[in-house]
Amino acid sequence: MENSGQLFKGVVAATVVIGLSLFACISVPPDLLMGWGTLFLVAMVPAQMVVSLLWRCEYPRAIADLPQPWRGLGFFALSALVAVMVGYVSWQTVGGGISPPTPFVNMYLIFTVPVALWLIIPLQAWPLSLVCKSMGWLGGSLLVVTYTLAYLLFRVFFNFSFLNGAPFYRAVLDPSGLYMAWIPLVMSIASVAVILILALLDFWPVVVLAKFFPAITKQPIFAIANGLLIAVAVFLLWWFFVGYGGMDLVLFQTKVCVALIFGLFIVLVMLEGLPGLKVAQPWRGLFLTGIACVLAVVMFELYRVVVLGRFALPGGEPPYALELWLASSMLAVTFPAMVAHANYLQFWPLGLRKSGSNQ
């Protein structure tokens, strides 16, 4: 009975959050959503990851001990403060202070999200956890490393010369990296989907190998083993849809990666990973991934139909207005809203989850 109540609460909460987020997205001009809206909201996501995944919404104690809804509002204010500072600095440096924000800064900030996820989940904050014994220092240091490492990788791999001739293009802002910018960005986003699937699988089969090779459970071997698995899975996804299937790179990002991540977020965040499902791995993870895939298709079509009915954005080819709107609305807007409601507010006012559970 308790499990069915949790499931009902998650479904209702997901419906409300998605409905309100979608309404907010169609209530503002598309250019504003894909520009300033994306910059600010994406800048907030790594901070939300630190609060919900690393701190498990139990730090700072001054906020965690507050009653709802002040607890949730406190965590949101903290995340928003980080977003304002990071967003402004990134806009002034990576983005050259150009208004509205350009693909230079928005792609960089989007790229920081996979970097943060890699540092928190496969690496488990290693090696920072060895030297930062305070949760505050650990979280702050991880954010600094996230933005620094993302910037270095951005400079090495991202190349925006394909945008030469666009009104906003500035050669001085182009890192002129090794690959056309969409390639490293899309591959990093694809890796997010794989990491989330591994989370549903409780990192099977790496944990199975750990029974025979206990050293795999130690860092950085655990991260290396999972990293190899993630790399292979990303390559297979890329080959199947882009290489073999011939799908456009941006369409692959939106229709496959973003939609799948969105479905996985619903299962992991709003439905809390369905804790009442008592099935052994890998079947449990595969079943939940199947649910996420169904949700991905349904949600993608819902968002697509709604935006086309409201704005009739062109899609399928440059400038990819439809695809960029879908990516911004699903991940830049709805995902932070999910975290705020499920983790920060603990599903208030629908009911409270226990602190630290399935964060």
Q: pLDDT by residue (tens digit) across 64-115?
A: 999 999 999 999 999 999 999 999 999 999 999 999 999 999 999 999 999 9
**135-184: pLDDT as tens digits:** 999 999 999 999 999 999 999 999 999 999 899 999 999 999 999 999 99
Average of pLDDT values for 327-335? 96
Q: What percentage of the chain exceeds 90 in pLDDT?
A: 91
- Is the Cβ–Cβ distance between 37 and 328 less than 8 Å? yes
d(CA 129, CA 106) in angstroms, rounded, equals 29
d(CA 296, CA 305) in angstroms, rounded, equals 14
Q: What percentage of the chain exceeds 70 in pLDDT?
A: 97
Global confidence as pTM: 0.95
Amino acid making up residue 225: A
d(CA 161, CA 175) in angstroms, rounded, equals 9
The confidence score (pLDDT) of residue 107 equals: 98
Average of pLDDT values for 236-265? 96
**Is 338's pLDDT higher than 50?**
yes
d(CA 45, CA 247) in angstroms, rounded, equals 28
The confidence score (pLDDT) of residue 354 equals: 54
**155 Rama sector, left if φ>0, alpha if ψ -120 to 50, beta otherwise:** alpha
Say which residue, 4 or 190, is predicted with more confidence.
Answer: 190
d(CA 60, CA 78) in angstroms, rounded, equals 10
**Is 353's pLDDT higher than 70?**
no
- Is the Cβ–Cβ distance between 59 and 133 less than 8 Å? no
